[in-house]
Amino acid sequence: MLTLRGHHLICLHFFSGEGYDVLFIENLRDGIKRAESEEIEVVSGDDNICAKCSYLKGHKCMHDEKADGEIREMDDTALKLLNLSAGQRVKWQAVKERIPGIFHEWHNKYCDDCDWKQACEKSDLYREMKMR
């Protein structure tokens, strides 16, 4: 079963084909494909997407010294906005249907300072949500 952490449940909807490296991008594509066809287990901490990230060391994000704590805080916020909790199982489409209702709060809190902002801005869904 595919596992996804809080912020991936939101951010993967805006994936535009970019990532850290080829292996990570392939894993992102595979994760989205799996999410569209199977049930997702919501997790706290690293998930199937993190598994192929070169910054993951011992179940922690080592992108920089603050990264793991910041990401866990993002995950908590994402789960609250989506009204989900770790251990739940959910369908991708059910999460997707919640995105319009939470997008602006999420965007205002996280997107402007995110390293992935330029990649997300290439997504049709992201641009559509911003215009609402």
Sequence-distant (6+) residues with CB within 8 A of 4 are 12, 31, 35, 40, 41, 42, 43, 47, 48, 49
- Residue 36 to residues 30, 33, 69, 76, 93, Cα–Cα distance (Å): 10, 5, 29, 23, 7
C-alpha span between 13 and 5 (Å, rounded): 13
In this predicted model, what pLDDT tens digit does every residue of 43-86 receive, in sequence order?
999 999 999 988 899 999 999 999 999 999 999 999 999 999 99
How far is the first Cα of the chain from the last one, in angstroms, to the nearest whole number? 34
Residue ranges per structural domain of the chain: 2-131
- Residue 69 to residues 2, 63, 126, Cα–Cα distance (Å): 23, 11, 25
pLDDT given at position 18: 80
pLDDT given at position 55: 87
Beta bridge pairs of residue 40: 2, 90
